[in-house]
Amino acid sequence: MKVLRTIAEVRAAVRDARAAGESVGLVPTMGAFHDGHLSLMRAARQANDLVVVSLFVNPTQFAANEDLSTYPRDEVRDAALADAEGVDILFAPEPAEIYPDGFATTIHVAGITETLDGASRGPHHFDGVATVVTKLFGIVQPDVAYFGQKDAQQVLVVRQVVRDLDLDVHIEACPIVREPDGLAMSSRNVYLDAEARAQATALSRALDAADRVHRSGERDADRILSAAESVLAKAGIDAEYLELRDAETLQPVTRVRRDALLLVAARVGAARLIDNHLLRGTAP
């Protein structure tokens, strides 16, 4: 595996692969790899000739009061894990390589960025995500880019960018990878002490409870959400949001007719955690 630091190096490597007729897969990450990240790399490795993983803690998607300075970083460990998964290129640039002096462009997606994490974290968050992902697509020019479904709203934002800007890349959303007790894997899980770690399992248990109510035949959103709220309340978790939204538009739903996303965000101990579950609709 090559560890590359500059845009020019990555473009040269991709150009050589394209000249040889090879396909290119990209896994955008902020590092601190766990099995969720590795599952994306495996999916990319299975389907592409050249696999590029970006490792970049993107400063523009953090607010001043968020955890940019403390976000977990261990490039040596990450590089070893990526190498073991057969990654060809680890693109690990410095911030100045991505945002040089005079950088003045932001990609803003209206609508779906203004709710849920966009409302909780502020408009800068998805502006930063959309901008850096667009840059990575321009640098790597992948055939396919792989994202985790845990960040369901982010996946929808990236797909909107691809549609609106006519970018020639397929977005592949891969399933959430969970710990044996159900907690969704996240780089921020390292912030959890033992007590908070146990408490955090209530997020997935709440989604499971709501899913059981839905699978029993219930379609009323309030009744489905009530099942999840009960689990969170018993665990002493006050959610930032617990919402049932259309799986494509993120518009609120009152009854589950089409596919819907049940989404939750909560601060547990020192970590802000998110999770979601897809409820299948019945309407054609």
Residues marked as catalytic: 37
Phi and psi at residue 133, in whole multiples of 5°?
A: -65, -40
Which parts of the chain fold into alpha helices (H)?
7-19, 35-47, 75-84, 95-98, 117-121, 123-140, 152-164, 194-215, 221-234
* Cβ 25 vs Cβ 47: under 8 Å: yes
Strands 271-279 and 260-268, sheet pairing: antiparallel
Specify burial of residue 158 (Cβ count, 10 A radius: 0-12, 13-18, 19+). buried
* Cβ 144 vs Cβ 47: under 8 Å: yes
Angle between helices 123-140 and 7-19 in degrees, nearest 10: 50
Specify burial of residue 258 (Cβ count, 10 A radius: 0-12, 13-18, 19+). middle
